[in-house]
Structure 1
Amino acid sequence: MSDTEVVHGAAAGSTRRKRHRKKHRTGVLVEMELRVRNRPSPLSETNGSGQESHAREDLRSLLLSILRTLTRLPWLATDAGGVFLAHPEDQRLELVAHINFSPYIQGACNQVAYGHCLCGRVAESGQLLHAGCVDHRHETRYEGMGDHGHYVVPIRDETGLLGVYTLYVASGHTFRQEEADVLEDFAATMATVIRMHRMRQEKALADLIIENSQHGVVITDHNNRILWCNPTFETVTGYTLEEVKGKPPSILASGRHGPDFYRRMWHDIQTRGQWQGEIWNRRKNGEIYPEFLNIMALYDEEGTIVRYAGLFVDLTEIHQAQEHVRRLAYFDRLTELPNLTRFVELLETKLNEAQGHPRAVMMLDLDHFHEINNALGRRMGDTMLIEVARRLQERLPDCLLARAEADRFLISGGPFAMNPSRSEEAIDRLISRVQEALQHDISLMGHQVSLRSTLGLYMSQEGDSPEICIERASLALTEAKRTRRGEALVFDETLRRRAEHASYITLNIAHAVERRQLYLVYQPQIDQAGELVGAEALLRWQTPEYGSISPDVFIPHAERRGEISRIGHWAFEQAVEQFSRWKTMHCWRNRSFKLSVNLSPAQLIGHDVTESFIEICNRLDVSPGSLVLEVTETAVMQAADVIRRRLKGLAAAGFRIAIDDFGTGHSSLSRLHEFPIDTFKIDRSFVARIESGGKHLAIVRTMIHMAHELGHSVVAEGVENDRQFAILRNLGCDHFQGYWFSRPIPADELANLAMQQD
């Protein structure tokens, strides 16, 4: 056997060798274990770099004690050696302990690359190495270095290489298997020391994280008695650790949940090991608050529950923000009247209750409001609108009221008799009551301002939807403003012809695809640096009779006719086909471009589109990950269980999911948490208000923060100026879309825009 290169793996020794190895290994282990057990817990030590330095010195001390034991072995002539820790992430060894290393060796061997010199070679091979003299592998040399030999032993466990240690032996030393066996046992002891050191470090880090977590943390024993809580728990609940220690967490119970709720909770914990969800608890001061709670059972090695850990987040601010969002979604901020969305819901209920009897739906427009607003200022204009709302509420307590937009209000009264003459009388009385409410002037900045108004009125017929009633009242108002400003006009046969436009849409939307009248345009989306990162595909309809018809007009008709799924499928396929053409043109070679496509709730509720969408993507060689499927927040809450399953299937296939018009729907955090959402799109109505600051800015800030906390990105829609862009960017909004950057444009223009940026 050569004395210059002997590489050996572990080998079984004789009974005599095993007793010999066990004697030395046991002594070292006893010393090491006693020293480790006598160390204080990391939680009792000073946090920070001082603790880390202490732990490292502790490791060095233990490894040195093992080295000293090795140098005292009577059958192994060695008086110098060193221990290196492995850093596999950058393929190097670090010298952490040594005996009798000269200053030069300490400097030269402080950091050793894998594969370099003897120690580096062992790190690379993972095998024990013996060298009887200095040869070509001993790459670290220095002047005056005498000839010598080495044992270099890997330190490893089941996870891999932890380090190596080296011992200096006399030149000409001969390899002996008995020595190698003992040295490998010492390596196993060092591995135990290093592993325990790392476990202590990891525990110290975990303790530090939990201690300073922004989440409340509480630990109980197996009988559900509190053992420990972190400072956040104390801050949120108002209780100190001393006050709750030994008590059950039920001291926080709010009384809002019945026994069945808690039975289901504990059933999940006992059978699945975990429960999570929203819960209402009570602070020490009696205040009831919402939190998102995650309870986990902790088991010992035999599978017995020994602890329970609860982690929670106080949802008070988020719930308050949601209530603000709901209020903004359903009520007018200025007048506190219901808005158009809420009015439609209320009117639908009233129409159903009327059982065929007509209801009056009236749209009121304040004459010359914009001139007054411009002359006296916005504050005075707001005062005028508030006063109009107050007077209408006072004079028409039995009517539905809403502020539709700007200076327009909606009023609905009835139901009225089926007899035409009696119905006309009732209509006249309603119009008179409205006019009487506004007959007196209002004083603004010392000016007496007349509250003149123009009215458009429609009498509902059996089968009319709220949208038809409002649309026809609006048509009547438009005609009244054109021909008899300051008066009321009832929708009649002349105006009915204008309603034929709506009928045209209803009848022809089903054939728009076959007639090739539908097409897509694309509105760019940019990131914080102003770079193009995506686009939203938007549907358009060009007709020979009426020209371009807005999607806001024809999509509701398509939904009512049951055509929206077919149109939506066509739009998806067209968008993917266009994306494929862009790929061929190499438009997005320097960026990860995402194309957003809108889905209607009917598409998701009707049938599972996942398979057909995947087939389209495969056929056109487009990755589902390049596509964002947008569904409105309101749609998500319709048939929520079905839509959740559909969206999860789409997400599992690789498609990204975005919630469109976020903030305008009627959802809760607990429900949205169940959906596979990647992106929230903040509705343009919130973006339009952020420049005014105050609550509007706070709401948007909360929405962005909430989305990021949930791990979602945020797109702001309807960005119209650089001020809005700057505010949103400072709030951490990820992407932006709006006319300030670009109107919706044809596909070739978007491609040119992308290639210009490249």
Structure 2
Amino acid sequence: MPQPVHFASLLDALPQQVWQADAQGRLLWMNARLAEALSRPALPTQLARWLHADDRATFDERWAEAQRNGRFEMEYRLNDHWVLAQAQRLPDSMLWLGTHTDIGARRAAEARLRDADEVWKLALESSGDGVWDWHVQAGVEFFSDRYLRLYGFEPGDVDATPEAFDARTHPDDLAQMDRDREEHFSGRSPLYRNEHRVLAKDGTWKWILSRGMVIARDAEGKPLRMVGTHTDITDRKRQEAQVWQQARVDTLTGLPNRRSLRERIERALALRAMRSEELAVMFVDLDHFKEVNDTLGHDIGDALLVQVAARMQDCMPSGGIVARMGGDEFTVLLAARDAAAAAERVGHDLLEALSASFGIGSERVYVSASIGVSLAPRDGLEIEALFKHADQALYEAKGAGRNRMRLFTAALHEAAQRRARLASELREALPGGQFSLVFQPIMSLRDPARTPRKAEALLRWTHPTLGPVSPAQFIPLAEASGLIVDIGDWVFRAASAQALAWRAAGHHDFQISINKSPVQFLSERGHRARPDWITHLRGLGLPGNALAVEITEGLLLERDEAVAERLRALRAAGLAISLDDFGTGYSSLSYLQHHQIDTVKIDRSFVAGLENGDKALALCRAIVTMAHELGMEVVAEGVETETQMLALRAMGCDWGQGWWFGRGVPAQEFEERWLSPAAEGPAEAATR
């Protein structure tokens, strides 16, 4: 299996031969050291094929046993060279990662020891290891010069007793060392093997591999004499720790990553009942982070994530864990007797901490966060269930306006099921003829009583059993699934046909606005075969100004040259370009310098505030003045009262759209109400 270049280089640098195999014992990948030893064989190849014939049967037994316990260790001859094989099954996988450590010198020395004790010891010394010789029942242990110098001592510095170095063993390693000794003393293990830390003379801890064998027993089978070696494995342990760190720690923030979080949740779930605790899994997603990245650059975005991680950690109670899942997504794990109450407290602190400004260099950056929470055992006892439910709660928090927290409830689950059902049934809506358009008038504020010359085409879905479905529900589903591309083409063709009909009926300059999703623009890259809007208009004999294309600031945030080129082509063909929901984005004014925009639409949230104070009035007046200075017209959305209409007209706003003038209605009703000779005025329509 191919490895990332930097990871493969690290493995090539190890003194061991490193390999990866499947459950059947077939080698799938090997580092350079093993490849050279086997003369670079074609992969995959059976590992057993390269073993000495006398070792294969034992290998098959040990490998089969390893499939049950997840660990494999054996000494065998590989191409007639003795190696120590160690392997472990990778988490959530049927693959194995293993190493071969050269033990040829030790095995040769051990063989000679049976013939001559002094020759055996000399051979061990020549292998580079320190040798120890323990007379167990006498309580005496002799150490070779190389052994002593491994820890910075000279001959004579240390007493010849087993306690001399047992006392220098790290306290955390003593219990395992005693267990491994007993395994060998009892005969359950043919060799003694243990890894532990030893305190050197200079105060540093050295990781060593201790291996040995009882070479003499008394009449009762108790050990009399045991001989072995110490090998310095500090560098290998350091490299293993680095690999572990890379696999479990987010390199940018230093937080646990997704894999590490899953391991911690698994442990917490296993201990939950024993400790009488509940768990809270909190998904934390930054609001508007993409806008920071796109407008200020990824370096600022990365620096922001580092500061966010620090603030989140500051909000954690004892035992609380913050992990980064990727991008701007974080997860918090809490364990408490009342996890819901703990989540409420921590969630409040997080929202408050993350809504305060961030100072990054010379920039002041503002974001907020949305939080979704699931609880164990109430919402599930499996990681996937807790993640799914926290994600559903996060979806609700974002849909409710962001910068807030939501706990998962049964109602949210039902809403998620409804979304899933709608997403599935949305595929049948277009071929089933379930879509329709309604048209909302856009009135001139210079003469509100005049017959409208503009309208916005609004998409409606009438489900055969659920009835009308809100666009706020199905448009995001259509965008997520990619169905918005075909739906958008249908809207364009239907609106074009209606514009043609109204112009043919005598309304020669009538213009219909349609919304075009960013997904539609992005789908056009590299798809020249997709039916072209401009060609379709020409085929109908319609001028480009019969339609206006409304886009959102999210599209312009992409700074995609292909998108910009498409906008220029539409405008060159005569179509008007309108920027919808103006003023709600991260840095609205910057877009107007890079794109040719004909109209800006003041978001309804500003218009709604016109009757409540001077701030909304000042903002609307500033937008109108700025747009006019740049040669653009202004449409105010969400006009619902006469007071709002009069205020907008007084500040020079060009167009108004909203319930004050009229709701969206089917084409025939639109004609009867506004385009026929006997049509009523907008004020009359609004009060009807």
Q: Which TM-score tier does this pair reach, normalised by the shorter chain?
A: 0.3 to 0.5
Q: Normalising to structure 2: TM-score of the pair?
A: 0.43
